[in-house]
Structure 1
């Protein structure tokens, strides 16, 4: 990841400053291919914000940019990029390494690949506490047991000597969440955390994350293609398409009154919302285009397309009929 060398600049902040704030953030690979283009985005303390969109829309790239997990060919630019009070546009790799954990931590999609199969979970969780040199081995052990208990793992002390293959997917995902919380982050990023789980375990993980938000006050960035998960746990939701946020608002406002044609098309394809007796499942025809270019990126797939959509970039406008904030990037949404 390309970034300026030197320590990340600390930005003064008050109690209501966002944990994560981006303005005009773009991510390009090899200086040619934009994966994220001009994203404005923020997550406030204690808030759960969802990001939805098709594969290739830039969701995971956005999350990896927060933690500095992009490849060296990636170049991150923008007007503002602040994580937990630190200016990440001036951050080097050492700065990201120092903030990865205390500022933000991630729960990945597949818990089976999140841990080394060669070492016990106790050994791996202890390694995460390498910064806390003032704590003894016994104190670290008690801290790990407490966090494992917090995520609902039964008899956590006995699990420290077990290996990852001895756990089910749901149990291992709980351990992955515990590993992230162990470092006491201000922001927890969950990238499709329930995709590899069955419905029962998915419900348990979502309940766990709601409880963690209440008890620890951690802010959560939830990335998912599952609309039910977003509706269940999130306060706000951002819809991404071709590297841009095309609609954003409260969950209640977006689900009750989607204004962007892409959001409506996503909802139409949600299995839980399809009417019974339909012989052919709805799809969004075409493919996600490369980010950038003229006009609206959804114009080639939109059933409501107009001539201006192909040449004029749509404005980002407020579209809420009520007091709840709601924004859309569409010509038809403009006043």
Structure 2
């Protein structure tokens, strides 16, 4: 019998450097209008991370900050904000512009405003390949046609001469996705990418994103109100409310054991989870407050708040039995389970 090895067990290989690494990042408009407060978010190669939350929670502002697309009145701060090795907090406008495309590309929420109305789609998509100086015009055209075909555009050659107003919203959203894929980014940011699509095309786009992750190693940050989309495609989920991430974990953790009262309320309002026979859809009472207006921004809408919820800022703590599951809430509120045994 071979004697057991006396060598110490080999250490686990280190995790790859994150594509996006944010620590305590805040964004405000002017000096007195906060939009994002102290966000920590890490996305590693080949990882798909989703952000969910009501309108006005700061999701799109957070996404725009990654690409330096905030207005001049916006102010960013933080202890770390790296995109593909570049410090966003120290980068000037020229450096940020150089990151758009190779480092990160974005699929915007409204495809009708993503393209110029006075130029053909072929002209605009060709302009995206300005960095590729060596390939000929024919090669660039072939790449564009292939990208359009990949997202399900019929007659992709003919569409090159079309203007944006000649396509439906759903068709134009597919072109927007093709435009982002053309730049072969390390990080693809998708802001409600399937809103204008029917169910069949939505499934095709989600499949395309997954295959892009597997084929090209692209990381994806997806923002969506559609919980079914998040459950279908994401590895991890961050729940955002009033400019803060209030809960984060794997898809299994968030969908099977949501711990923050806000996350539980979101699931309670999901039509796919509403019990059969209910005459009125549930809603979350009140409105999203201005970020930072109180120690716990959800306290005014929370059904299980306690005295300390309005006296002390809730801590960011490990929660539940799932690894990597964290929640920003006092222990008195960490009770209950998903409103239903089902998931979207």
Relative to the length of structure 2, the TM-score reads 0.89
CA drift of 1:145 comes to 2.2
Residue 250 of structure 1 corresponds to: 250
Q: Distance in 2 between matches of 1:233 and 1:225?
A: 14
Residue 183 of structure 1 corresponds to: 183
Residue 42 of structure 1 corresponds to: 42
Residue 305 of structure 1 corresponds to: 305
Q: Distance in 2 between matches of 1:158 and 1:225?
A: 34
Q: Distance in 2 between matches of 1:41 and 1:51?
A: 10
Asked if the contact 1:26–1:78 (Cα under 8 Å) also holds between the matched residues in 2, the reply is yes
Q: Distance in 2 between matches of 1:167 and 1:204?
A: 19
Query: Could you say what secondary structure the match of 2:89 adopts?
Result: helix
Query: Could you say what secondary structure the match of 2:148 adopts?
Result: helix
Q: Distance in 1 between matches of 2:192 and 2:230?
A: 11
Paired positions, count: 321
1:124 is aligned to 2:135: no
Residue 105 of structure 1 corresponds to: 105
Residue 33 of structure 1 corresponds to: 33
Residue 133 of structure 1 corresponds to: 133
Residue 196 of structure 1 corresponds to: 196
Q: Distance in 2 between matches of 1:15 and 1:97?
A: 28
CA drift of 1:297 comes to 1.0
CA drift of 1:334 comes to 7.5
1:329 is aligned to 2:328: yes
CA drift of 1:225 comes to 1.1
CA drift of 1:181 comes to 1.3
CA drift of 1:293 comes to 4.2
Q: Distance in 2 between matches of 1:126 and 1:295?
A: 49
Q: After superposition, give the CA deviation of every residue in 1:37-58 in whole Å (9 maximum; x if it has no partner).
A: 0000011111110000011110
Closer, same or farther: CA 122–174 of 1 in aligned 2, 3 Å: same
Residue 76 of structure 1 corresponds to: 76
Moved more, 207-216 or 251-260: 207-216
Q: Distance in 2 between matches of 1:35 and 1:295?
A: 15
Q: After superposition, give the CA deviation of every residue in 1:50-76 in whole Å (9 maximum; x if it has no partner).
A: 000011110000001001111111000
Q: Which segments of 5 or more consecutive residues in structure 1 lack a partner in the other structure? A: 1-13
Runs ≥4 residues deviating over 6 A: none
Moved more, 147-156 or 172-181: 147-156
Asked if the contact 2:111–2:173 (Cα under 8 Å) also holds between the matched residues in 1, the reply is yes
Asked if the contact 2:36–2:62 (Cα under 8 Å) also holds between the matched residues in 1, the reply is yes
Residue 166 of structure 1 corresponds to: 166
Larger Rg: 2
Q: After superposition, give the CA deviation of every residue in 1:271-298 in whole Å (9 maximum; x if it has no partner).
A: 1100111122211111111111442111
Asked if the contact 1:294–1:311 (Cα under 8 Å) also holds between the matched residues in 2, the reply is no
Q: Distance in 2 between matches of 1:120 and 1:313?
A: 52
Asked if the contact 1:56–1:242 (Cα under 8 Å) also holds between the matched residues in 2, the reply is yes
Asked if the contact 1:317–1:334 (Cα under 8 Å) also holds between the matched residues in 2, the reply is no
